[in-house]
Copies of this chain bind each other. A is one copy, B any other.
Amino acid sequence: MVFFTQDDIDNLISEDVPYFDLTSSLLDIDTIPGKITYSTRDATVVCCVEEVERIMHRFGLKIISNTSSGKFLDKDVLFLEASGPASYLHVIWKVTQNILEYSSGIATRTYKMVKAAREVNPDTVVVTTRKHFPGSKKLCIKGIIAGGAMPHRLGISETILIFRQHMNFIGGVKSLLDKISDIKKRIPEKKITVEVESIEDAIMMAKKGVDIIQFDKLSPDEIKKSVPSIKQCGDQIKIAAAGGVNLANIKEYVEAGSDIIVLSSAYFGKPADIKVRLTPLGDKDER
């Protein structure tokens, strides 16, 4: 469940339907009763079905059958069906297809990576970065949750993640080490994550009590080498691998000993392929 406001829903509709549907109105099909169906073309984790249903309700369509976001479906499964006048079926057609395809694409990519990671270590946690499509964060977050991941950070107001770009302003890694215990004292309700680019830095941070060591763009091998020394500093310290993780290499990162996989690659890529059919009620033809 991700909360979409009415404004979120209406804006999605307005992008495609600023005023009305010119083509349908010229064809004089407005009041013909019809049906719209949505089916998978490939194995898919469907997402945003609930938001599509809200759009359907907006136009008075009747939901005949549906499923829940997060469900894994085989190919060629009809998972959503609604009826109503042809005018409204055409109005919602592409908007709803687009929402389903993009969010299910994210969910399915996430699902595959989570599955791959857990085949190696069932306790691995997959989280996604803030590199979501700008302007579409709720849809992206719903997608990755539906696929079995969690957001790494929802924004910069509630988590502490210290980057090299921060250290540049305090005098480098060394100066940060001097500050860690103070930061921990000031914000005892949060864990402290530091992104590092070398094993040496990682170990120094771990010794200072940093909760999560995040490696940026290290190879699985490099991470593997660092794990024992870090875990020696405290078993509760978590190792996160970030930077370029994708379906092709995620298993290696898990095998290397990462507790947490931080990735962006779930967000982008081809949308899921959802087949949508609009037919008059009673019609037998299949497209």
Contacts and interface: CB of A to CB of B under 8 A. Distances in A.
Interface of A: 1-3, 5-8, 10-30, 32, 34, 86-88, 90-91, 93-95, 98-99, 101-103, 105, 123, 125, 127, 130-139, 141, 145, 150-162, 164-166, 168-170, 179, 183, 185-191, 193, 212, 238, 240, 259-260, 268-271, 276-280, 283, 285, 287
Given A1-B25, A94-B156, A102-B134, 7 more contacts: A1-B87, A11-B135, A19-B157, A27-B179, A86-B169, A90-B166, A168-B283
16 contacts: A1-B88, A6-B6, A12-B134, A17-B156, A19-B154, A22-B156, A22-B157, A23-B156, A23-B161, A26-B183, A133-B135, A136-B136, A150-B187, A159-B189, A168-B280, A169-B279
A99 B134 contact: yes
Given A152-B189, A185-B123, A135 B12 contact: yes
Contact of A130 (B10, B98, B193): B98
Contact of A157 (B20, B132, B212): B20
Contacts of A133: 102, 133, 135-136
Contacts of A280: 168-169
A179 B20 CA distance: 21
A187 B24 CA distance: 13
B23 A155 contact: no
Taken together, the copies of this chain in the complex come to 6
Given A21-B157, A150-B187, A135 B131 contact: no
Nearest to A176: B27
B3 A160 contact: no
A29 B98 contact: no
A176 B137 CA distance: 32
B131 A98 contact: yes
Contacts of A23: 156, 159-162, 166
The 6 closest A-B pairs by CB, nearest first: A5-B10, A135-B136, A19-B157, A165-B278, A29-B169, A158-B158
Given A15-B135, A170-B27, A277-B165, A159 B5 contact: no
Nearest to A279: B168
**Could you say which of A19, A103, A139, A170 has the most chain B C-beta atoms within 10 Å of its C-beta?**
A19
